[in-house]
Chain A
Amino acid sequence: MSNLKRTQLYDIHVAAGADMVDFGGWEMPIQYPSGIIAEHLYTRQVCSLFDVSHMGRLLIEGPGRTGFLQHVLTSNVLALEPGLAQYCIIPNENGGAVDDAYLYMFREEDFLLVVNAANKEKDLLHLQALVKDYDCTITDISADWAAIAVQGPKSKEMLTVLTGGEAPTEPVKNALRSLPLEGHSAYIAKTGYTGEPLGYEVYVRSVDAAWLWNRLAELGARPAGLGARDTLRLEAGLPLYGHEMGAAPDGSEIPIFAVPLAKFAVSFSPHKGNFVGRAALERQHAAFLRHMNRDFSDASPLLRKIAPIALVDRGVMRAGMELYRDGRSVGWITSGTMVPYFKTEGEGLTTVILQESGKRSIGLAYVDSDLLENDEVEVDVRGKRLKAVLPARHMSVGAPPYARPLLCGYTEETSVAASTDDDRRESILILLRQAADNHQWRQERCVNLIPSENTPSRAVRLLSASDPAFRYAEHKKILSFYDKDVFYYQGTKFIDRVEQLLVEEMKAYLGCQEVETRVISGQMSNMAVFSSLMDWKNRFDRKSEAKRLGYVMNNHIIKGGHLSAQPMGALHDYIAIDPVTEKPAVVSFPMRKDNPYRTDVEETKKLIDRYRPELLIFGKSMVLSKEPVAAIRQFVDEEHIPTTIMYDMAHVLGLVGDHFQRPFEEGAEIVTGSSHKTFFGPQRGVIGVNYRPDELKYGLWETVERRTFPGSVSNHHLGTQLGMLMAAYEMNQFKDEYQRCVIENAKFFARSLHDEGLNVAGDPAVGYTETHQVIICVGYGEGPEMAERLEENNVIVNYQATPNEEGFTASGALRMGVSEMTRFGFGKEDFAHLAHLMAECILRNRPIAEDVAHLRATHEEMRFCFDDAEIEKALAALAEKVGL
């Protein structure tokens, strides 16, 4: 064994009693005395350390480095920027893999390419032959820097101790950061080979390797060897060179596109020129697309593919075992073994991970391309034919902080069925009773703190349920009639007047030139605006494919931005792809380092200068601060940057005024909003636009009208539009007092929660919040359970991921709003009492349901309503007419 290479941590492994083996010429620990099974489980439950210093670390430098890497890797290197990494493959001319690798761009001036230990020499020979044509150097720095993988749900917490409280990286996969760990230089990557949603690879100087390993062990991490590394990556469905790439069990070369990850790792960007293997890969890709469409007519470039496989019968599948279907040989196992998992109880968000573990025989297989998900095959296990199935995956990482095993054969129980003639009446009686119970519960016993919700006044509700609710009133301005609105339906004179009045009330409320009221939700308002901007952008050329919007600046969902402004939300069909990065042309407002809930204006200006976005979308759904509209308006005007400034006010539409912001006065051109959050309306949307008829961009307003109708609606829900007029009257009458109360109550509630010992987010110097929202942090991943506990106690809040959390299942906060309860007359004493009750529940798990119901029972009268005797009488008359 003495000719084998040793990593910087060899002595530690030996001292720990590890079983050492020859791995690609290195003496590495396959397992420690704990054993592979325990090491695998500890990774999934807590955190494991893996010495990955044997892997090849190559530094790529020089002015020609990007061109070189574009040529020798399958990936689009231009998709990277400092702080990002990407998975890639080193291809050969046949479209097979020389190796798979990871490319890191820690900084502007160079790249780090990490390759498999067993292939390093081969990779270097291959790359050095090709680098001759480029002004670029490859330096093997493996000896100078050690690499330790820190993987598991507690990994982030442990590294955060070493960073002194700073997040190790942004909470997204492939994010990178360079920052010292207790004084030792380190490069941290949110990457890994275990499939853990929380996991990092840390590069430190060789001299610091032992220190880092031991320090993390002190914090509770345990060593894991190559054995567990293999079972973990197998469960995660990740390929291993030599098994899922390189040579197949029959000696043939596995095409790159046989591997599912190829679709992410391979780019055909024109910026990659005629990169190594391009032609072969293009043929494979064409076959891959045909196969996705279940067209197997010409499978020759891609006869087989790598797929997950799970054994149904009892036994263990191993690499090399042959697979059969209908008597034919259809492939082989490429990797397989018995893998442990933690059992669970319950379902959905309330799933509980137990201490008890099970085992399952799973693997990866190289199978004929025409086999489909859930197909059954037989595996030849040392002469016996055992049944197996091809699941889509063995595991999901979509619910951080835990990796979730997906067991074959799981069937969902359905408890809901359609009614039958026999039970329909009974179903209706149950429905009516339950509807009454629910209404009573929410309106009489609950303290409703969901910030996007409110209860409209009786007047608004009555009007919303009256006759126009069943009617149509489509209308369009007709040029021939001096742009008068012409209605397509009869019986619309009343609602025509209502809509005109509503437009005038909203213009007065928002302080703008034009208002579109036909949109029926906030998200629809946004889509209508995006559609308008795109239509406006292409107005001179209706003969070519319409150009999409890009670059667009938004608030990222992780930082509190709304779905509307994300490419996976309403922006989906309107956002362009940046041809250089091959990613959506979106850049997000950066948040301040000292306050992740407030935009960093100076950094924003730099990004605007760099990307020249044609649309800026202010506004958030998790919001504690005013948006810096005025500062950015001034900047883009001074710099003559042509752009459209939009403010999706959503939550804060009801706060337009002196106590919060006046968006149009600050320089916004378009405001969209939800009429039912802080605004008193029923559930609808609204678009306010501030172009004057003599401005060029007035044409954009006219486009908004058309993209609303007929673009977004046909029926624009007349009932709630009528209710909206009443709500607009209420807002215009009571807004000053209402807004003052809401913001005062929010700050007071925040302060009270803080005084009760809860961790309130935001800047104490401004009273934690400038809006109706209050956010409290209850512990990483604790949000959903806490929100459920509060609901059981009649306090309705929602769990919320903070800017530092990976996704909603890892939510560590609760988001609350004071507007609804302010409308029901809550004052400071009430919010103080509520804060106390909530602290009892959250911190001491005391039941508070009856106290909360009692608190609510004394607040069933709404404030900020018209309640004089004559109006009451008129309302009663209307109620009778409407039959309510």
Chain B
Amino acid sequence: MLYPDDRMYSKSHEWVKTEGETAVIGISDYAQDALGDVVFVNLPGEGDEVAMGEAFGDVESVKAVSDLISPVSGTVSAVNEELLDAPENLNKDPYGSWILKVENPTDTEELLSAADYEAFCASEG
């Protein structure tokens, strides 16, 4: 299980990487492993509003649908369209396959460092 320390993590298993003024958001290795094969991603559109702590889309595996919870509030500046044709990228490369970008987020959750997130995952069992 990978926990790269170049980014922060939420308790709902999303990661946030800051690139200048932009928050880049994806799901962690722990999340993709728990989901199993991802077969579909429901993405928001560019320009949509996302709110911290609320669902901004979902990820579908063969057996279930799981909400994606936004760690930030703001306006979606970009979505990763590749995921529409190749949702399995989230399994193959969770940290390279970003899901959406929010420029100048107005609010951000309290996020965990890689080490704290790893400990959190261990306690989730």
Which B residues lie within 8 Å of A35 (CB)?
Answer: 36-37
* A37: interface (CB < 8 Å): yes
- Report the bound CA distance from A633 to B54 in whole Å: 86
Minimum Cβ distance to chain B for residue A270 (Å): 46
Mask for B12-49, Cβ within 8 A of A = 1, else 0? 00000000000000000000000011011010000000
Residues of chain A within 8 A (CB-CB) of B84 are 314
Residues of B within 8 Å of A501, CB to CB, are: none
A35 to B63, CA, bound (A): 11
> A residues within 8 A CB of B37?
35-38
By the criterion CB–CB under 8 Å, are A337 and B36 in contact?
no
Min Cβ gap A41→B in Å is 11
A339 nearest CB across to chain B (Å): 8
Inter-chain contacts of B63 with A (CB < 8 A): 30, 36, 227, 337
CB pair A316 B36 closer than 8 Å: no
With A231-B62, A318-B65, A337-B62 as contacts: A36 and B40 at CB distance below 8 Å: no
Q: B60 interface residue, CB < 8 Å from A?
A: yes
Expressed in whole angstroms, the Cα–Cα distance for A382 and B55 within the complex equals: 13
Q: Which residues of B contact A231 (CB under 8 A)?
A: 62
A361–B60 CA distance with the chains assembled, in angstroms: 11
**Cβ of B97 to closest chain A Cβ, rounded Å:** 17
Q: Which residue in chain A gives the minimum CB-CB distance to B39? A: A338
- In the assembled complex, the Cα of A38 lies from the Cα of B84 at a distance in Å of 20
B60–A36 CB distance below 8 A: no
For chain A, the bracket of interface size reads: 10 to 19
The answer to whether A263 has its CB under 8 Å from any CB of chain B is no
Give Cα A31–Cα B91 distance, bound, in whole angstroms. 16
Residue of B nearest to A37 (CB): B37
Please measure, in the bound complex, the distance between the C-alpha atom of A19 and the C-alpha atom of B36, giving whole angstroms.
10
Contact (Cβ within 8 A) B39 A31:
no
Q: Which residues of B contact A318 (CB under 8 A)?
A: 65
Q: How many residues of B contact A (CB 8 A)?
A: 11
A337 to B39 CA separation, bound complex (whole angstroms): 9
Chain B residue contacts of A361, Cβ below 8 A = 40
Task: Please report the C-alpha to C-alpha distance between residue A31 and residue B34 in the assembled complex, in whole angstroms.
Answer: 12
A315 in the interface, Cβ–Cβ < 8 Å?
yes
CB-based nearest B residue for A30: B63
Q: Decide: A359 near B36, CB < 8 A? Known: A36-B62, A338-B62.
A: no
| Nearest chain B CB to A630 CB, angstrom units | 63
Q: C-beta contact mask, B50-66 vs A, less than 8 Å → 1, else 0? A: 00000000001011010
Interface contact B62-A227, CB-CB below 8 Å: yes
* Distance of A525 from chain B, by nearest CB (Å): 56
Distance of A860 from chain B, by nearest CB (Å): 59
CA distance A318 to B66 in the complex (A): 13
A338: B residues at CB distance < 8 A: 39-40, 60, 62
Cα distance A314–B65 when bound, in Å?
Answer: 15
Chain A residues within 8 Å of B60, by CB: 316, 338
Closest to B61 in A: A36
Q: Which residues of A contact B62 (CB under 8 A)?
A: 36-37, 227, 231, 337-338
List, in ascending order, chain A residues with CB within 8 A of B39's CB.
37, 316, 337-338, 359
Contacts of A38 in B (CB 8 A): 37
Encoded as 1 (CB less than 8 Å from any B CB) or 0, chain A from 293 to 324 comes to: 00000000000000000000011101000000
Closest residue of A by beta carbon distance from B62: A36
B42 partner residues in chain A, CB cutoff 8 A:
315
Which residues from chain B contact A36 at a C-beta distance below 8 Å? 36-37, 62-63
A815 to B88, CA, bound (A): 47
Highest count of chain A CB atoms <10 Å: which of B42, B62, B84, B88: B62
Question: For the complex, what is the distance from the CA of A318 to the CA of B88, rounded to whole Å?
Answer: 19
Within 8 A of A (CB), among B54-106: 60, 62-63, 65, 84, 88
A171–B60 CA distance with the chains assembled, in angstroms: 40
Bound together, the chains give a CA A31 to CA B60 distance in angstroms of 16
Question: Contacts A36-B62, A227-B62 known; A31 to B36 CB distance under 8 Å?
Answer: yes
Collect the chain B residues with CB atoms within 8 Å of residue A315's CB: 40, 42
Select from chain A the residue with minimum beta-carbon distance to B60: A316
Residue of A nearest to B91 (CB): A35
- The B-contacting residues of A in range 1-46, CB under 8 angstroms, are 19, 30-31, 35-38
Shortest Cβ distance from residue B31 to the other chain A in the assembled complex, whole angstroms:
15
CB distance from B53 to the nearest CB of A (A): 20
Q: How far is the CB of A431 from chain B (nearest CB, A)?
A: 46
A30 to B63, CA, bound (A): 10
Which residue in chain B gives the minimum CB-CB distance to A337? Answer: B62
Map CB proximity to B onto A223-260 as digits: 1 under 8 Å, 0 otherwise: 00001000100000000000000000000000000000
Distance (whole angstroms) from the CB of B10 to the closest CB of chain A: 23
Residues of A within 8 A of B65 (CB): 316, 318, 382
Rounded to whole angstroms, the CA-CA distance of A231 and B37 in the bound complex is 13
CA of A361 to CA of B40, assembled, Å: 10
Query: How distant is the Cα of A227 from the Cα of B60 in the complex, in angstroms?
Result: 14
Contact residues in B for A19 (Cβ distance below 8 Å): 36
CB neighbours of B88 from chain A (8 A):
37
Distance between Cα atoms of A188 and B65 in the complex (Å): 38
Write 10 A-B pairs (CB below 8 A) sorted by A numbering: A227-B63, A231-B62, A314-B40, A314-B84, A315-B42, A316-B40, A337-B39, A337-B63, A338-B39, A338-B40
Not counting A227-B36, A318-B65, A337-B62, a sample of 20 additional A-B residue pairs whose C-beta atoms are within 8 angstroms of each other reads A30-B63, A31-B36, A35-B36, A35-B37, A36-B36, A36-B62, A37-B62, A38-B37, A227-B63, A314-B40, A314-B84, A315-B40, A315-B42, A316-B40, A337-B39, A338-B39, A338-B40, A338-B62, A361-B40, A382-B65
- Chain A residues within 8 Å of B, Cβ to Cβ: 19, 30-31, 35-38, 227, 231, 314-316, 318, 337-338, 359, 361, 382
- What 10 A-B pairs are tightest by C-beta distance, nearest first? A338-B39, A37-B37, A36-B62, A35-B37, A316-B40, A316-B60, A337-B62, A35-B36, A36-B37, A227-B62
